[in-house]
Chain A
């Protein structure tokens, strides 16, 4: 909390935070890569392998979903799902793993989360770029509206980030935190809209399904990828508002955690 008399200016504080976050980023990289940088490579490859395995599987079965090639459909779904789930997964224990770093006054819990999530965003985004070679070899057509694909990906990352803040705080705040996080993550297999389109649901139930913000992002991505070949239902406004609320919730929880002191149970 603010205890200094030397009033730190905002820009100075921001500089410090950036310094800390970048140091944390490098630290995370070193921790991941061990000595030779294999770890980071692995981290990139991890979602990549997953997505490509899915692709190969569906490519071999050679089916189409509606009038959309199944590879593209599966890829879009899995990318969205992993885009938010990976962040949750990796951010969950970030505080517990880096507790000792909090001994440095400059290092705040939020910074730990920020560093981790930046790394995650990079790695999942790189795996998302798997689309490029797949488009290149012609398995998937070039997106009809590329800007929608990009926007929806950003929305996915934003959502994942917010959820990451929430889960990692819950993990630290609540005794049952880990279990709650696991439930949230398992839920996210289903509420991301990865496996189906809203159009396939009876109209009466679409509204309920569309309450999940990730469904909007997935639909948006499919609209961007396939254009008129699918009927997409989504509302950008709702998605942005929901993400905003989740971000707020996450930040409040993170503050709660950092106020309580993450070191309570260290000794």
Chain B
């Protein structure tokens, strides 16, 4: 279970503090798969990072009773200077995963082949995403935090990824940020809309999408 309680986050900007998340309270139970919708700059990534525990809330708390993955995003989590394998080795050490088994699984899943020996910074965005997911699959998390990345892979990989993830997370949780309604529908069983720092959770994804559309086109967006 992840319980978010009265969570606020504000960043300092030149014109004083700007509050991004306002008093968010929400709970994700084990097995629940939550999709988060929000326009650009609404603070989705920030929220994901706070849930992942790599950023501190200004106030409020996040309580985790299940293990949570690091936020799988375009960037982050992998060191550019190291090869894919070295990155895997590092992550295996931190999360205490057997490297040999993990390597086999990553090689099989990512289909990167010899590229695994190359520095990650030479990878394309898709390759990087594949590696990130492959590595994250080797570690057993109760909850996966996914930030947009599913959009990057090609269709075949997305299929593969979806199968693996859904297979793996049958009784686990996902918190996912995406602009693609299809993806949300595929993965999630609940959805939330983050707008103006406030998170509204809908039990039906349709409602969430509907609401989101309204927000998107109903008013001008101010940053």
List residues of chain A with CB under 8 Å of any chain B CB.
1, 3-6, 19-20, 22-24, 26-27, 30-31, 97-107, 258-259, 261, 263-264, 266-267
Contacts and interface: CB of A to CB of B under 8 A. Distances in A.
Contacts of B49: 263
Interface stretch (B26-34, B74-82, B151-159, B215-223): B74-82
A177 to B, nearest CB: 16
B71 A20 contact: no
B56 A105 contact: no
A6 B65 contact: yes
Given A100-B79, A264-B11, A266-B75, A1 B93 contact: no
B62 A104 contact: no
Instruction: Please indicate which of the listed interface residues B55, B73, B75, B95 has the most CB atoms of chain A within 10 Å of its own CB.
Output: B55
A36 B207 CA distance: 57
B82 A103 contact: no
Given A31-B79, A103-B54, A104-B70, 9 more contacts: A5-B65, A23-B94, A24-B90, A27-B90, A98-B79, A100-B76, A103-B71, A104-B54, A266-B75
Instruction: Please indicate which of the listed interface residues B54, B77, B81, B91 has the most CB atoms of chain A within 10 Å of its own CB.
Output: B54
Contacts of B86: 27, 30-31
B55 A261 contact: yes
A96 to B, nearest CB: 12
Contacts of A101: 77, 79, 90
Contacts of B70: 103-105
17 contacts: A4-B64, A4-B65, A5-B63, A26-B89, A30-B82, A30-B86, A31-B79, A31-B81, A97-B81, A100-B75, A101-B77, A103-B52, A103-B76, A104-B95, A258-B56, A263-B76, A267-B75
Contacts of A20: 94
Nearest to A106: B94
B105 interface: no
A102 B90 CA distance: 13
B57 interface: yes
A5 B52 CA distance: 15
B68 interface: yes
B93 A263 contact: no
Contacts of B73: 103
Nearest to B57: A1
Given A4-B65, A26-B90, A30-B82, A19 B96 contact: yes
Interface string B45-62: 100010011111100011
Contacts of A106: 94-95
A3 B96 contact: no
B40 to A, nearest CB: 11
B38 to A, nearest CB: 15
Contacts of B56: 1, 258-259, 261
Contacts of B64: 3-5
Nearest to B62: A3
